[in-house]
Structure 1
Amino acid sequence: MWQGLEEFIQVVEQGSFTNAAKIMDVSTSHISRQINQLEKRLGTILIKRTTRKISLTDAGRQYFISLKNIRQELIEATDHLQGTQQVPKGLIRLTGAGDFVADQVAPILAQFMKKYPEVEIEINFSGRNVNLIEEGFDLAIRFGRMQDSSLIARPLTTRFMSLVATPDYLEQHGIPKVPEDLLHHNCLMAITNRWRFNINDEIKEIKVHGNWRSNHAGAILQACFSDLGIAHLAKDLVQKYIDNKQLVYVLDDYQVSDNATWLVYPRKDLIPHRVRLLIDFLLAHF
């Protein structure tokens, strides 16, 4: 009975099948199929389709108004029910990669569970860009510049990045003076081989090369400690090794400062109460 209703509402609100698909993070063909099946069940055409635009039939316009009213009443009823629940309960699935999630997010999640012991937390440490809706995740922790997305992204904190190497590596291979000098060094890479720098107040990318690549910061650190090359890592991760002289900053004056850490979740009207509580809890702590 409910199949196709949200797709129909989104198509009308967004003005096209393509925009609705982006908002819902599904394919355009999925949207079209759901609405076709909805029209079949209702026995009437809701949307007039042309190559350039869509428009509602009279039946479609009345149906849209009715659905909007029903959806709003459902939201209000759910909010009322969740607001009266004294103890939130149920599973929250979160995905994110890296030591930041393990070392800084996980302890806050543990505090949250102490406060709400009937909530269950599942953390997935996947390095790939997980599709939250299709794979059933409530939240994600992501890093760097956010691309245009149908997801809501809330900034948690700014993570300052750094280039580091051992004194022995720099003594043997020389100290880079400008970012372009990295082309003559072995660079220990994580997610990308394009490192960003602030050069004369302009952000530029340098495509680096190296024989060590890993999506785990600890593995990159070990390679760096072994004098294999220059690593690109978060400052909060390497600062203690700078302090005890195991590592040295490289090209620190050229580092950019826009590497935000984001709390990301799908655009949904009906976010479970327990998830809303966790969102507020994380934002408050950071």
Structure 2
Amino acid sequence: MDRLTEMEAFAEVVDQGGFTDAAHKMGLSKSAISKHVSSLENRLGARLLNRTTRRVGPTDIGMAYYDRARRVLNDAGEADALVSAMQSEPAGLLRVTCATDFGVKHLSELLPDFLNLYPQVTLDVVLCQRRVELVSEGFDLAIRVGPLEDSSLRARKLTETRMRLLASPEYLAQQGGPKTINQLTDFNLIHASNISSRCVWKLEASNGELRQVRAKGGLCINDGQCQLDAAIAGLGIAYLPDYLSQDALMSGEVVDAMPSLPRQVQDIYLVQPYHRIVQPKVRAFVEYLIQEVPKHANAC
């Protein structure tokens, strides 16, 4: 007899508490279930079930075998489901969260083509500055800029973006530009209120040392575009990614306030909860972003 069928028959007898209910669950006759279990016991040379007129339950050996058998059966079921999932068309609701600045500048441009490719997928995209709890809040994916904090998530680097110290030409003409990292404390620094280290900038010096600069100034705001607008208005120096500031740099509204600073970068990640079986809609969106995000982000 088939080993997996014997194993499944035995496990169902344990789960259902008897042969009759197990037979009903598997769509077989009671005698067929009994034959499968007897064949299994004969093959193993051990009694796995205690049978009485009132109840059926596993022996000590049977309980130990049940624990391992149930794991094998679950793995076999997941293997079958994986094959089915990989062959089915992406469909259903896909919930995605993304940092607001990156979502407005780049993700929004990519969504129409994805929906044209997969018309059975419905996207629910939430742009926000806070780090969303993917599992508890029911999200499938997130795009995050900067260091990752939650190691329980599956992460894939999509691309990276250059970070610059930016200010208006007028502000630097009045104040003079900073020549060293230490001199930054003499300037108004426009900083973000949406991160835990909002008053500290971490900059890499020319010798490779990671330096921390405590930002001080008259403006703390939780939106990158607003920080850029403040820098354009001459309120101080902002530390922003190229994907947000490239147009303002090209137009001359802002300039690199410290061009001698070594190239600073932040990684951009795609993160998702860990699942042994990835749904087609999730897999399709992941593959699409991996292909398209670097093209758009690096075009800045």
Query: TM-score category by the smaller chain?
Result: 0.7 to 0.9
> 1:250, CA displacement in angstroms?
1.5
Q: Distance in 2 between matches of 1:124 and 1:62?
A: 47
Match of 1:77 among 72, 80, 88: 80
Structure 2 length-normalised TM: 0.71
Equivalent residue, structure 2, for 1:5? none
Match of 1:160 among 159, 162, 165: 162
- Name the SS of the counterpart of 1:259 in structure 2: strand
Gaps of 5+ in 1: 1-42, 45-56
Higher alpha-carbon Rg:
2
Alignment length (residue pairs):
231
> 1:264, CA displacement in angstroms?
0.2
Q: Distance in 2 between matches of 1:159 and 1:277?
A: 24
Gaps of 5+ in 2: 1-56, 295-300
Compared CA separation, residues 60 and 232, structure 1 to 2 (3 A)? farther
Equivalent residue, structure 1, for 2:238? 231
Equivalent residue, structure 1, for 2:229? 222
Compared CA separation, residues 58 and 255, structure 1 to 2 (3 A)? farther
Q: Distance in 2 between matches of 1:244 and 1:84?
A: 49
Equivalent residue, structure 1, for 2:200? 194
- Name the SS of the counterpart of 1:88 in structure 2: coil
After superposition, the CA RMSD in angstroms is 2.3
**Is the 2:167–2:255 Cα contact (8 Å) retained in structure 1?**
yes
**Is the 1:165–1:229 Cα contact (8 Å) retained in structure 2?**
yes
Compared CA separation, residues 239 and 122, structure 1 to 2 (3 A)? same
Letter of the 1:71 partner, please give it: N
Compared CA separation, residues 193 and 60, structure 1 to 2 (3 A)? farther
**Is the 2:157–2:269 Cα contact (8 Å) retained in structure 1?**
yes
Match of 1:175 among 174, 177, 187: 177
Compared CA separation, residues 60 and 92, structure 1 to 2 (3 A)? farther
Q: Distance in 2 between matches of 1:60 and 1:258?
A: 56
> 1:220, CA displacement in angstroms?
0.9
**Is the 2:190–2:215 Cα contact (8 Å) retained in structure 1?**
no
Letter of the 2:287 partner, please give it: D
Letter of the 1:196 partner, please give it: K
Equivalent residue, structure 2, for 1:28? none
- Name the SS of the counterpart of 1:206 in structure 2: strand
Compared CA separation, residues 116 and 77, structure 1 to 2 (3 A)? same
Structure 1 length-normalised TM: 0.74
